[in-house]
Structure 1
């Protein structure tokens, strides 16, 4: 399902995408909310390190609005703070 959603946004999913998507789903299970950008980067930093949690890194993977697009691909609700 994630691959189909990504294809509709012209994104080809890689292992790096799935690494973020799995952690995003884990965040959702822990906190019962889809994270906006700042909580997402903080959570990713805890679990993946600084090099894979920066806004620039996430923008390369999920262009435009990383938190919103990643939540969509992960099958989660849109983060409340995302337009």
Structure 2
């Protein structure tokens, strides 16, 4: 199984780099993962989405889709694309240390 190292901690990931064990994720890892995804700095709005993604994963076993994110996270779809330009649900899931949401290609 592939691994990645964030904040001096090696964690198991899948072939696309998504965490396979979300319990191994820590907030200090998020900044490095975000930078690798082309996001220079995480703002409060980024953190709002990241925390929402983790809570949804904990409650439902999968991360939300972009549509669900836009309707229920308190961040509009337009703003989601500004925050996570390379695909909001997929990129936010990676930064949040959860597996890729179902339905993401």
User: Whose helix fraction is larger, Structure 1's or Structure 2's?
Assistant: 1
CA distance in structure 1 between the partners assigned to 2:68 and 2:38 by the alignment: 26
Q: Find runs of 4+ consecutive structure 1 residues off by over 6 angstroms.
A: none
Q: Which runs of 5+ in 2 are unaligned?
A: 1-28
User: Whose strand fraction is larger, Structure 1's or Structure 2's?
Assistant: 2
Paired residues, number = 76
TM-score normalised by length of structure 2 = 0.67
Q: What are the within-5 Å matches in structure 2 for residues 33-48 of structure 1? A: 33-44=62-73, 48=74
**2:38 maps to 1:10:** yes
Alpha-carbon deviations, 1:25-49, whole Å to 9, x = none? 11111111111111222221xxx3x
Q: 2:51 — aligned with what?
A: 22
TM-score normalised by length of structure 1 = 0.83
Tell me: higher relative CO, structure 1 or 2? Use CA pairs within 8 A at least 6 residues apart.
Answer: 1
Q: Cα RMSD between the aligned structures?
A: 1.1
Greater C-alpha Rg: 2
